[in-house]
Structure 1
Amino acid sequence: MTTPPGDLALITVAALWGAIAGALLPRAVHRFSVPWEERADGWRTTCPAGHPIRGWLGRARCGRCAELGSRPGPGPGPGPGAESTADAGPTASTASSASTASTAPTASYAPGAVGLPVLTALLCAALAAATGVRPELVVWLLLAPVGVLLAAVDLRVRRLPDPLTLPLAAAALVLLGPAALLPEHAGDWTTALLGALALGAGYLVLHLVNPGGMAYGDVKLALSMGAVLGWYGWATVMLGTFAAFLLGALYGGALAVVGRAGRKTTIAFGPFMLAGTFAGLLIGAYAA
């Protein structure tokens, strides 16, 4: 089956938006990737070399580190020792170069310059293909980069920062409100609100029963999951939730098989919650 030209244009625009938004995420990923034991204000203010970082969006590249790394080091001057250094062969110069390279500042202080734009573009394109021209697509495209940011931070430091999880839940409900008033929408705002409350309460119970297995950050992220999935109904909420636990269990089982995890090993569950939400959202949008 061929894709209609209008849908192809919509998917292309969504992918372009995702690529642009993803390209702005590496600096934010670094700034929010603060382990619990190092947390001060909740985010980083400097690069690994200690130079201040300005702004939240853009490449994770420090101009000061690039400037210091490009300065040539002092080389051996002419004199009686020059000939003996030359006779020593390449070993001395190689060791000197290796020492200089190991101490030179690195301009790029976080990965993701390519992976984050590609991933965000693919997610946005898939959402556009599933949702079509319905008004809620704008909401999905605005929320998708934040989801990628949360997943990247959780994978790095196993933490879901409050400045991202709580505003994401509020933004989902606020943005879905106007979408529910526009024609051609395929969801229900009231169910989105109830889904957020229900899923948040369910994850809270799991956290109280087993705090080590379900972190409090996951409970806050569940509010956003419930709002997004609840837009398409309770069946979508159940589907997205089941997909999250299934993906997490498969990943944990794979780690156990290869000997990299035991019964007490904890994993970052946020990426699987987000992946399950994405899967449920795609199916819910197609079925709507």
Structure 2
Amino acid sequence: MAGMGAGEAIVATAHAAFLVVGLVLIRVDILEHRLPDRIVLPSAIGLTALLAVAAAMAGDLQPAGRAALGGLTLMGLYLALRAAHPAGLGGGDVKLAALVGVFLGWHGWMPLVVGAGAAFVLGAAFATVMMLAGRAGRDTHIAFGPWMIVGAWAALLVT
């Protein structure tokens, strides 16, 4: 991280942490169909804190405020979806939405919208392929956390 300011190094660290946590959560969700609170919640709090410190060091709190609002907004959307169809999303997905929302919100509203949408498009595409291949049916539970995380990274690539 040579040549980077302290705030930029903190943002880079936050991204690296989101990558590592994301990979762990993808593995756990695929294998166990759960997103452990002991990983998701501290990660959301830690990411929010890191980004707030980076914003304060840069003298511009707007990205940190947008990140916090992004986390609350995406979590609220997932909470509404879970309330409307409890079998469709798990509580871990709702909590992961806060983490993903903070991460994408830091980058802007467009990455947040694209990342949120990408999760559903990628998840649906995967489910369709699995059904066409005869490996899943209408009642098959498919881990959604991986698509939320992959969708977040995809959003950063295309926005």
Q: Determine if the TM-score, normalized by the shorter chain, exceeds 0.5.
A: yes
For the residues of structure 1 that align with 2:64 and 2:82, how far apart are their CA atoms? 27
Quote the residue 1:25 is aligned against: none
For the residues of structure 1 that align with 2:123 and 2:92, how far apart are their CA atoms? 16
Residue of 223, 228, 231 corresponding to 2:106: 231
Give the number of the structure with larger relative contact order, counting CA–CA contacts within 8 Å between residues 6 or more apart. 2
- Structure 1's unaligned 5+ residue stretches are 1-9, 14-132
Structure 1 position 276, deviation (Å): 0.6
| 1:250 to 2:125 alignment | yes
Structure 1 position 181, deviation (Å): 2.4
SS at match of 1:231: helix
TM-score when normalising by structure 2: 0.89
Residue of 193, 207, 218 corresponding to 2:82: 207
Quote the residue 2:66 is aligned against: 191
- Matched ranges for 1:1-288 at <5 A: 134-135=8-9, 136-183=11-58, 188-284=63-159
Residue 206 of structure 1 aligns to which amino acid in structure 2? L
Deviation digits for residues 40-86 of structure 1 (CA, Å, limit 9, x no counterpart): xxxxxxxxxxxxxxxxxxxxxxxxxxxxxxxxxxxxxxxxxxxxxxx
For the residues of structure 2 that align with 1:142 and 1:207, how far apart are their CA atoms? 27
Residue 275 of structure 1 aligns to which amino acid in structure 2? V
Residue 128 of structure 2 aligns to which amino acid in structure 1? G
Tell me if structure 2 keeps the 8 A contact 1:134–1:184: no
SS at match of 2:12: helix
Residue 231 of structure 1 aligns to which amino acid in structure 2? W
Matched positions, count: 153
Deviation digits for residues 72-119 of structure 1 (CA, Å, limit 9, x no counterpart): xxxxxxxxxxxxxxxxxxxxxxxxxxxxxxxxxxxxxxxxxxxxxxxx
The structure where helix makes up a greater share of residues is 2
Large movers: runs of 4+ above 4 Å: none
For the residues of structure 2 that align with 1:199 and 1:272, how far apart are their CA atoms? 14
Tell me if structure 2 keeps the 8 A contact 1:228–1:281: no
TM-score when normalising by structure 1: 0.50
Quote the residue 1:97 is aligned against: none
- Structure 2's unaligned 5+ residue stretches are none
Quote the residue 1:32 is aligned against: none
Computing the radius of gyration over CA atoms, which structure comes out larger, 1 or 2? 1
